Structure 1
Amino acid sequence: HSADLGERGDGDVWTMTVDEYLAAPRLKRIAYRIFRNPFFLFVIAPPIHFMVMQRLPLSIDESARNGERSSVWWNNAAILALVLVIMSVIGWKAFLLIHLPVAFLAASVGTWLFYVQHQYEDTYWEYKPEWNYTEAALHGSSYYKLPRIMQWFTGNIGFHHIHHLSPRIPNYYLEQAYKENPELQNVVQLTIWDSLETAFLTFLWDEREKRLVRFRDLKRLRPDAVKA
């Protein structure tokens, strides 16, 4: 995720460009609108992503490090063993009643936190060789200014741009790094209210204006190409 941040075509949430969307078949455009719907993004997709897709090494390509696929399967085996032990102690019904709501909520909140810190209007996206690591870190991820208690509960995740710039900085030092380096303060800052507004906008990437735009902007941006 950190290595590919801001690089078009790698990782992140499925985001079509304006031209890709306008050139796409009608069914694909409908599918994209469904995918970008907030209910799908934050309620339906998160448990599928975390509980199913991340349990299967389908996205690991041939260039992956040795043992990466087997690591996924060993991790699955360990999770299954732990689940069976817990079920044997408290019963499967109690386990599901406790675990599933927590897992669904955690998946949704986690998706929200990462989504709003990358998917905002003035974010950064580029293709190689123009893609730049520092630009992607500082301008492709935001500073999510959370209330103090939420900052603590989320492990300083709001200083996301610093984490992407240098993933080796421990989370408990991110705030200090932010305060001591003025250049890390000159980034996009989002409040909870800003993130609420951003999350409920569905986006396309406009390669001409280098920013994310709304569906309703299509008529203004490509008046001769908009399909009914």
Structure 2
Amino acid sequence: MIKKSDFVLAPYMQRSDRHATNQMLNTVLPYVGLWILTIKAASISLWLLPPIVGLMVLFLLRCFSLMHDCGHYSLFRTRQMNRGAGFLLGIINAIPPYAWSRDHAYHHKTNGDWQRYRGIADFLSTEEFAQLSAPKQKLYAFLRQPIMALPGGFFYLVIQPRLTLGLGFWEFFRHSLAHLNQQGLSNFGAIATTYRSQYWQTWEEFWDVLLNNIFVVGSWIILSDLIGPGLFWSLYASVMTFAGTIFICIFFVQHNFEGAYAHSTADWDYLRGAIEGSSYLDLPPWLRWFTADISYHSIHHLSEKIPNYHLAACHQVNRHLLSQVKTLRLGDLHHCAKFILWDAATHQLVPIPTQSAVAPKNSAMIPTTVSKLRPKGKG
């Protein structure tokens, strides 16, 4: 029986500010430079833009991967450096990094426990799915097709963080109005300090969401004024959509695949969740660089404190203990896309059954769990 202590992990948890700074420079500066190049190229010919946009998507992937490391406090040595770099990368990715990292930490704490955490798209159990009406079963299947990752990517990066802030303010307004009618304006301070939002858990998280939105929306206004709203939004929407789609697809194949460890809370094992509930993505070297080696996902789940620049070496040293890790390629996405239900009885991820095997019971159903990822980011 393999134990976590059998793995050589501690030497690879050492963080390097020099290495982290180099990664920030060779990621952020090229991404900013590509935006400048895009503006210059657009004045010459729009036919020059597609390859530049393709590179921008790849560098945004790397920006997200480094933000992910900052969220685990594993890129730089100090918490303050990780928070600062993470905030900058959060502006580039249009995601409040503090709130995102808290939700992502829940994924790490429950990986493989499908009773508590239902993946990137709130996947249902087979029992819950059977209780849906036929139209809702079809809608469930349609919304989880790979092609839906395209609008999902745009929503995830561009719309959801702004929607979260707006809904949070609206919730606070309604809360304040209700209590002011009862307690009066003189008690507004107490009303505000006792307010608890479903959209952020702490005031620190609120300020992270607010400041991220101020900087992101401010950058939209400035760039739209500089290069024109039509050109800016055409480029920005393309980059964010394709980058967000790749984020979603990579996260999906890292956890939804045939034979993935998928247990209920009662008999869930953290170590098996990391090894058997996370795949190894066999990527070409250039794509490994742009994704900051997140393809070594089992090692990452064994210890999120290992910085991306040590993941490959740690994987190699512990390779003899990783025989149960599923090896996948991006071409396997189509096959993995079928596994969007959790069978609690057999502890497996399974495809949607054929219509003849499905017997809807009720027209409405309330899932027993709620996903803790806003999708939901990278694993």
Any stretches of 5+ residues in structure 1 without a counterpart? none
Aligned partners of 2:298 and 2:161: how far apart in 1? 24
Given the alignment, which residue of 52, 77, 82 partners 2:219? 82
Larger-Rg structure: 2
Moved more, 128-137 or 149-158: 128-137
Identify if the C-alpha distance between structure 1 residues 133 and 69 changes in structure 2 by more than 3 Å, giving closer, same or farther. Answer: farther
Given the alignment, which residue of 141, 166, 173 partners 2:310? 173
Given the alignment, which residue of 303, 328, 332 partners 1:194? 332
Moved more, 133-142 or 97-106: 133-142
Aligned partners of 1:162 and 1:107: how far apart in 2? 24
2:290 equivalent to 1:184: no
Match in the other structure for 1:32: 140
Match in the other structure for 1:44: 151
Any stretches of 5+ residues in structure 2 without a counterpart? 1-103, 169-196, 362-379
SS at match of 2:109: coil
Match in the other structure for 2:130: 22
Q: Could you give the per-residue CA deviations for residues 147-170 of structure 1, whole angstroms, max 9, x where no partner exists?
A: 222212221121112112211111
Match in the other structure for 2:161: 54
CA contact (8 A) 2:296 2:315 kept: yes
Aligned partners of 1:142 and 1:217: how far apart in 2? 27
Moved more, 116-125 or 190-199: 190-199
Identify if the C-alpha distance between structure 1 residues 114 and 146 changes in structure 2 by more than 3 Å, giving closer, same or farther. Answer: same
Match in the other structure for 1:120: 257
1:63-74 matched pairs, under 5 angstroms: 64-74=201-211
Letter in 2 for 1:97: S
Match in the other structure for 1:10: 117
The CA deviation at 1:185 is 4.7
Q: Could you give the per-residue CA deviations for residues 170-225 of structure 1, whole angstroms, max 9, x where no partner exists?
A: 111111010001223531111233233223x2522112221111224686xxx5x6
CA contact (8 A) 2:262 2:349 kept: no
Letter in 2 for 1:89: L
Identify if the C-alpha distance between structure 1 residues 61 and 141 changes in structure 2 by more than 3 Å, giving closer, same or farther. Answer: farther
Aligned partners of 2:157 and 2:116: how far apart in 1? 21
Given the alignment, which residue of 293, 299, 323 partners 1:162? 299
1:83-98 matched pairs, under 5 angstroms: 83-98=220-235
TM superposition score normalised by structure 1: 0.85
Q: Could you give the per-residue CA deviations for residues 76-109 of structure 1, whole angstroms, max 9, x where no partner exists?
A: 1111122222223222222112211111111111
Moved more, 69-78 or 19-28: 19-28
CA contact (8 A) 2:161 2:213 kept: no
Identify if the C-alpha distance between structure 1 residues 202 and 127 changes in structure 2 by more than 3 Å, giving closer, same or farther. Answer: closer
Aligned partners of 2:263 and 2:201: how far apart in 1? 23
Match in the other structure for 2:78: none
SS at match of 1:6: coil
TM superposition score normalised by structure 2: 0.53
The CA deviation at 1:11 is 5.4
CA contact (8 A) 2:111 2:273 kept: yes
Given the alignment, which residue of 350, 357, 367 partners 1:213? 350
CA contact (8 A) 2:279 2:297 kept: yes
Identify if the C-alpha distance between structure 1 residues 128 and 149 changes in structure 2 by more than 3 Å, giving closer, same or farther. Answer: same
Letter in 2 for 1:54: P
Aligned partners of 2:269 and 2:207: how far apart in 1? 32
Aligned partners of 1:16 and 1:25: how far apart in 2? 14
The CA deviation at 1:133 is 2.5
Aligned CA-pair RMSD: 2.6
CA contact (8 A) 1:123 1:141 kept: yes
SS at match of 1:88: helix
